[in-house]
Structure 1
Amino acid sequence: MIGMSVSQIIILIIVGLLAGLLGGTLGVGGAIVVIPSLVLIFGFAQHQAQGTALAFMLPPVTLLATINYWKEGYVNWKFALILSITFFIGAYLGSILSFNINEKILKKVFGVFIIIVALKMIFSK
């Protein structure tokens, strides 16, 4: 790959595998693993990390995992369709909003959001 060192490629492969494993296991990956990795390891700006994370999810990266969950009876297609359509719209609007937020503030908002979600998950019944 042009402009990438072997070590960067290896790290990206590890991050991608970790994100995929966590995505398939816990349903997380893009935001929880990839964005912080791009910012903290590769020095991406927050906007660039978010845009790259969205771009890598363009192909059907979750197709095989979804099929496995569906085979086991764990997919509610009605909910998934509504979430998919509204996520499509929300992601478009969110990207526009993001461009109007200062880089440092956006990074802090992202970090606080992850902490709040983590605390809620840890301390909820």
Structure 2
Amino acid sequence: MNIEAMSLMELAPFAAGLVVTGLVAGVLAGLLGVGGGIVIVPVLYHVFTLLGIDEAVRMHVAVGTSLGTIVLTSVRSVRAHAKKGAVDRPMLRSWALPILLGVAVGTLIAAYVSGDALTGVFASIALLVAANLAFGKESWRLGSQLPGRPVQYSVAGVIGALSALMGIGGGTFAVSFMTLYGKNPREAVATSSGLGVLIAVPAVVGFMWAGWNDPLLPPFSFGYVNLIGIALIAPLSVLAAPWGAAIAHAISHKALIRAFALFLALTSLQMFYRLFG
């Protein structure tokens, strides 16, 4: 745990950076219909870089703090979807154990790899996500129904592990998998919001444990989870999401998706440059 006294002058820039993160993440979520860590982690990474957070823990804290915000937003989201009857509860129950096992594996890996390795994982997968957003088509299908349980459970485990490593709620992977096999997109999104809870809660506990007493952590951090970040980012992203949604109605959705793909690609390339440049 790293909770230390700070002067107002020291704390203000850190808090301001997190306020910006929450607002930017919310606007992007409203604009693009995406949310969670795929937005928050890269924004936090940039903010932490500007604030001078040590590179050894920068990505770990970005991922852990993102997961902390996902706990709050996923609970709110899945409850809203459940009220409309859109959540596939049997699927959620059947995926629970492999998801949790995957999260455990991903969290253990994150606990022992370097900040550079964690950054490389995010950068690599973010580049693939960006390519899918830019060039993928909604009409693409691998089948008309989901494959058998062994394949589903294997995919769920991989989703759990990668989501824990990247600080995301799993929707980026799960929605793509479900819709490729013909599942209704609205039901896929609703069910994925439930996966966010299954992923984020144990992952947050793991990231707290992994970074406990690390001397390089920013103030008010429980392990790799920053409390100020959670307190500011989660409510501000919810507040700002309608602003992005309002803008979205005035701009081409396809252009917005491609703009976000460009943002992810540039973030990924910048991360690679920091690693290898």
Normalised to the residue count of structure 2, the TM-score between the two structures is 0.37
Distance of 2:45 and 2:90 partners within structure 1: 35
In the other structure, the counterpart of 2:11 is: 5
**Aligned 8 A contact 2:21 2:40 in 1:** yes
Distance of 1:82 and 1:124 partners within structure 2: 28
Distance of 1:78 and 1:13 partners within structure 2: 38
In the other structure, the counterpart of 1:91 is: 103
**Aligned 8 A contact 2:44 2:62 in 1:** yes
In the other structure, the counterpart of 1:52 is: 65
Q: Which runs of 5+ in 2 are unaligned?
A: 138-277
SS of the residue 1:42 aligns to = helix
In the other structure, the counterpart of 2:35 is: 28
Change over 3 Å in CA distance of 1:101–1:82 after alignment to 2: same
Distance of 1:69 and 1:18 partners within structure 2: 24
Change over 3 Å in CA distance of 1:83–1:18 after alignment to 2: farther
Question: Are residue 77 (structure 1) and residue 84 (structure 2) matched?
Answer: no
Change over 3 Å in CA distance of 1:73–1:106 after alignment to 2: same
In the other structure, the counterpart of 2:120 is: 108
Distance of 2:82 and 2:70 partners within structure 1: 20
**Aligned 8 A contact 1:15 1:33 in 2:** no
SS of the residue 1:75 aligns to = coil
Question: Are residue 122 (structure 1) and residue 134 (structure 2) matched?
Answer: yes
In the other structure, the counterpart of 1:38 is: 44
Aligned length: 122
71-80 or 105-114, which moves further after superposition? 71-80
SS of the residue 1:62 aligns to = helix
89-98 or 47-56, which moves further after superposition? 47-56
Cα RMSD after superposing both structures: 3.0
Distance of 2:69 and 2:94 partners within structure 1: 22
Structure of larger gyration radius:
2
Normalised to the residue count of structure 1, the TM-score between the two structures is 0.70
Deviation, structure 1 residue 18? 4.7
Kindly indicate whether structure 1 or structure 2 has the higher relative contact order, using CA contacts under 8 Å at least 6 residues apart.
2
Change over 3 Å in CA distance of 1:105–1:79 after alignment to 2: same
Distance of 1:83 and 1:118 partners within structure 2: 26
SS of the residue 1:5 aligns to = helix
Q: Which amino acid aligns with 2:90?
A: K
Change over 3 Å in CA distance of 1:51–1:64 after alignment to 2: closer
Change over 3 Å in CA distance of 1:18–1:79 after alignment to 2: farther
